[in-house]
Chains A and B, each alone.
Chain A
């Protein structure tokens, strides 16, 4: 270990420990807000009034997305994405189970890091929210007219999908990059043979402009580094995608030390328009790679799985002009492109300073063929040729930068636990505020787009320690809201979050709320097992498979008395909610169900599989307080011993 490295690690350790030491003295008295009453006024959204912004926060290890209103910090919804959710029957009902299918089988959990709004002309358009699953590499698409997961695509040739799902200007692509390089194609080999044998892949996932359907257009096969984060070019740099790398050392063990040795790692600049040309010319390899695409059909109310077997792969050594490496100090985490598309910021996470590259200088250097080196056949540009400037931040551990659209940038510093505001072009530091504590990403509404709404900034903190009432060993992570409309950043709100919000996105409320659905049309319901009126309610028994076609309407089920079921039968309850009124879901739950409840929206059909083990009478009931007679919304099932069941009976009101 070199002396400088030792010093910075020591400094990091000291600063990490510092807040804990001073707890007793300052602790929660440290509000950080300059003026309590003016802060309260700024975040006060009167009862019955709406927030200005929707913000979407990743759940991290919860696998979900939470939706908060800003500036109030009120939780509006938790959207289940990668993890099963008993509350909504997500991943438990037959309709959503296929969403969690992968080539590794049914995966009921993942680690969701980065939400990204779809864009049109470089601005969030409020149509979709994408989010990555890091553990079993996947990308999900949430439809913002329903706030439900509409699609999940699996990524082949990947290990740890972290640098994802960042978008291009018109969501031509959302990208996915391997954080953990692996043998491509996968093979059983010695881990010690990592160097040169393990590979990374950068996937370009196309998004169908009409339906939003995702598929992998192509992958770029890369050296076995760790691909950490990404961001798309915009304006003049539209057509490029930038990925940070670390572990260019290609170490395979004790990475905290071994992957921190190189003074500079790279930002990989991918010219995806050039890549498209190579694809058109057929200069790709078709690789056998198994992956699944799971799509939810809003009319059928169910998800279907499409199996894919091949993916188009580009080898950058055979496709000159597609990939360039920009040397960037100290294991950069975030790579962020300013709203004009001129600057590419590398947040070197083991560094004090922030490196800014110039897109124009990069293009110039490429035209001049001024290359310092090559890495696995990929040209490495000269640092001096591409560097636009350095922000002498005075902080330590920069992770991520966003922009306010007024020429300012805001960078989080994890180790020194602060946000630093600085000026693009002059690189001077304008302001700094502490965060409580250890901020990861930050978010400005539209802050990674061409036109940020530069009014608020949210810091997403990893450690909360003494900030809230203690809840035992496990504490919430937090979001801190700052007013950035003035020269000085001002902390105005601090609220706990669900899971670990790695990153967030926010958008002006009116763009999303006007597209929000109230009900599903019963008339348009194409579910194969829908009962669209009470006259279609029935029970069909075929051997030990029973299909109950059930309806709900305030305040009864049809049928609500069912006989003829035998222990050991597989009973499918296909429940259709006949309601066509806003905010009238019905729930369905039955004693002994080994999965969860159903929570059925108006006009929707959902299916619960129930396998009763013992004869007896089993009640079922509505779980969502739907009406004045909700408590009466219940029914009975009779389960008989095998071979003892009477005729099938299905009635309501005798």
Chain B
């Protein structure tokens, strides 16, 4: 049982690293003219779609209601998020190597705080895109904003916006869960 928390933490770090290979979040827009939907993937370092033209297509649709263009180059988070995730992974490896209850807890808490901040940041971006509309938009619906949901689905005019974690996001959730499991096991074995 002594090495279990170490192995679990290393596993957690491996799950976290999936963020470099899979998107964190996915937002799908479905409308009558888009029966298959248009899906946008938010990674820690880029924004992609199910085709090379997806982002352009979403921007075209969004500009009618005056939403800003989504320009990955102008989103600073996409530059520093990979470093944050990398540092968090490094911290996890240190926790695994030292394998002390306190350090396991510290890692789990830092992880939790960073994840919460990340989701709050994501919410702020969504809020900004959905509310900060151009006053010269061709289509203006009084009282209407176009903020997609963080989690779940919501009708935005003719589009149903569906937002859920991507594969990388799910791995991140598992990673965080494992971080706490490692700490909990460590604490139990330390006491006994």
Given A628-B139, A629-B138: A521 and B60 interface contact (C-beta under 8 Å): no
- B 94-114 contacts with A by CB, 8 A: none
Contact of B51 among A553, A554, A580, A629 (CB under 8 A): A580
CB distance from B138 to the nearest CB of A (A): 6
CB distance from B72 to the nearest CB of A (A): 16
B33: nearest residue on chain A (CB-CB)? A583
Docked CA distance A581–B58 (Å): 10
Interface size on B, residues (CB 8 A): 9
Chain B 53-77 per-residue mask, 1 if CB under 8 angstroms from chain A, else 0: 1001100100010000000000000
- A-side contacts of B142, CB under 8 Å: none
B64 pairs with A581, CB closer than 8 A: no
A523: nearest residue on chain B (CB-CB)? B52
Given A519-B53, A521-B52: A553 and B60 interface contact (C-beta under 8 Å): yes
CB distance from A580 to the nearest CB of B (A): 3
B139: nearest residue on chain A (CB-CB)? A628
- B-side contacts of A521, CB under 8 Å: 52
B64 pairs with A580, CB closer than 8 A: no
- B-side contacts of A627, CB under 8 Å: 64
A580 pairs with B52, CB closer than 8 A: yes
- A 572-622 contacts with B by CB, 8 A: 578-581, 602
Docked CA distance A523–B52 (Å): 10
A581 pairs with B57, CB closer than 8 A: yes
B53 pairs with A628, CB closer than 8 A: no
B138 pairs with A580, CB closer than 8 A: no
CB distance from A254 to the nearest CB of B (A): 61
- A-side contacts of B64, CB under 8 Å: 627-629
Given A521-B52, A523-B52, A629-B64: A580 and B57 interface contact (C-beta under 8 Å): yes
B138: nearest residue on chain A (CB-CB)? A629
CB distance from A558 to the nearest CB of B (A): 14
- A-side contacts of B56, CB under 8 Å: 578-581
A578: nearest residue on chain B (CB-CB)? B56
- B-side contacts of A629, CB under 8 Å: 64, 138
Docked CA distance A55–B56 (Å): 35
A554 pairs with B60, CB closer than 8 A: yes
Main secondary structure of the interface of A (DSSP, over half): loop
- B-side contacts of A580, CB under 8 Å: 51-53, 56-57
Chain A 610-654 per-residue mask, 1 if CB under 8 angstroms from chain B, else 0: 000000000000000001110010000000000000000000000
Chain A's interface size range is 10 to 19
A519: nearest residue on chain B (CB-CB)? B53
B56: nearest residue on chain A (CB-CB)? A580
Docked CA distance A579–B57 (Å): 8
- B-side contacts of A554, CB under 8 Å: 60
CB distance from A583 to the nearest CB of B (A): 8
- B-side contacts of A602, CB under 8 Å: 53
Docked CA distance A522–B52 (Å): 10
Docked CA distance A629–B64 (Å): 9
Docked CA distance A578–B60 (Å): 11
Chain A 518-558 per-residue mask, 1 if CB under 8 angstroms from chain B, else 0: 01011100000000000000000000000000000110000
Docked CA distance A51–B19 (Å): 43
Chain B 110-151 per-residue mask, 1 if CB under 8 angstroms from chain A, else 0: 000000000000000000000000000011000000000000
CB distance from B16 to the nearest CB of A (A): 33
- B-side contacts of A553, CB under 8 Å: 60
Docked CA distance A523–B51 (Å): 13
CB distance from B8 to the nearest CB of A (A): 45
- A-side contacts of B52, CB under 8 Å: 521, 523, 580
Docked CA distance A627–B57 (Å): 12
Chain B 36-64 per-residue mask, 1 if CB under 8 angstroms from chain A, else 0: 00000000000000011100110010001
Docked CA distance A54–B60 (Å): 34
A581 pairs with B138, CB closer than 8 A: no
Docked CA distance A522–B57 (Å): 13
Docked CA distance A38–B129 (Å): 56
Chain A 552-572 per-residue mask, 1 if CB under 8 angstroms from chain B, else 0: 011000000000000000000
Docked CA distance A553–B59 (Å): 11
A581 pairs with B139, CB closer than 8 A: no
7 A-B pairs closest in CB distance: A580-B53, A581-B57, A554-B60, A580-B56, A629-B138, A581-B53, A628-B64
Task: Identify the B interface with A (CB < 8 A).
Answer: 51-53, 56-57, 60, 64, 138-139
Q: List 25 A-B contacts (CB under 8 A).
A: A519-B53, A521-B52, A522-B53, A523-B52, A553-B60, A554-B60, A578-B56, A579-B53, A579-B56, A579-B60, A580-B51, A580-B52, A580-B53, A580-B56, A580-B57, A581-B53, A581-B56, A581-B57, A581-B60, A602-B53, A627-B64, A628-B138, A628-B139, A629-B64, A632-B138
Task: Identify the A interface with B (CB < 8 A).
Answer: 519, 521-523, 553-554, 578-581, 602, 627-629, 632
Q: A522-B53, A579-B53 are in contact. List 18 more A-B contacts (CB 8 A).
A: A519-B53, A521-B52, A554-B60, A578-B56, A579-B56, A580-B51, A580-B52, A580-B56, A581-B53, A581-B56, A581-B57, A581-B60, A627-B64, A628-B64, A628-B138, A628-B139, A629-B64, A632-B138
